[in-house]
Amino acid sequence: MIDLMEKLLTFHRGLLQLAQQKTEAIKKGDIHALQQMMAKEQKYVMAIRQLESERMSLLSHLPEEERTVRCYAEQLEETERTKLLHLASDLSETIARLKEQNELNMQLLQQSLQFIHFTLDLMIPNEQDVTYDPKRTDELPPRSSFEAKT
The answer, yes or no, to whether residue 131 has pLDDT greater than 80, is no
In a domain, 134, yes or no: no
Choose the weakest-confidence range: 3-7, 93-97, 102-106, 123-127.
Answer: 123-127
Determine contact, residues 36/44, Cβ cutoff 8 Å.
Answer: no
In a domain, 149, yes or no: no
Scored b (16 or more CB within 10 A) or e, 10-19 reads ebbbbbbebb
Percentage of the chain exceeding pLDDT 90: 51
In a domain, 110, yes or no: yes
Nearest to 104 by CA among 17, 3, 22: 22
What tens digit of pLDDT does each residue of 47-81 get?
999 999 998 888 888 788 877 888 888 888 999 98
| Average pLDDT in the chain | 84
What tens digit of pLDDT does each residue of 91-111 get?
999 999 999 999 999 999 898
pLDDT band at 24 (very low <50, low <70, confident <90, very high): very high
pLDDT at site 48: 95
Domain of 101, CATH number, reads 1.20.58.300
From residue 100, how far is each of 84, 96, 97, 149 by CA, in Å? Answer: 24, 6, 5, 78
Q: What is the pTM of this model?
A: 0.72
In a domain, 53, yes or no: yes
In a domain, 111, yes or no: yes
The answer, yes or no, to whether residue 126 has pLDDT greater than 70, is no
In a domain, 128, yes or no: no
pLDDT at site 49: 95
In a domain, 61, yes or no: yes
In a domain, 139, yes or no: no
What tens digit of pLDDT does each residue of 32-46 get?
999 999 999 999 999
Domains identified in the chain, total number: 1
What range does the domain containing 33 cover?
A: 2-123
Overall average pLDDT of the 9-28 stretch: 94
Overall average pLDDT of the 126-134 stretch: 57
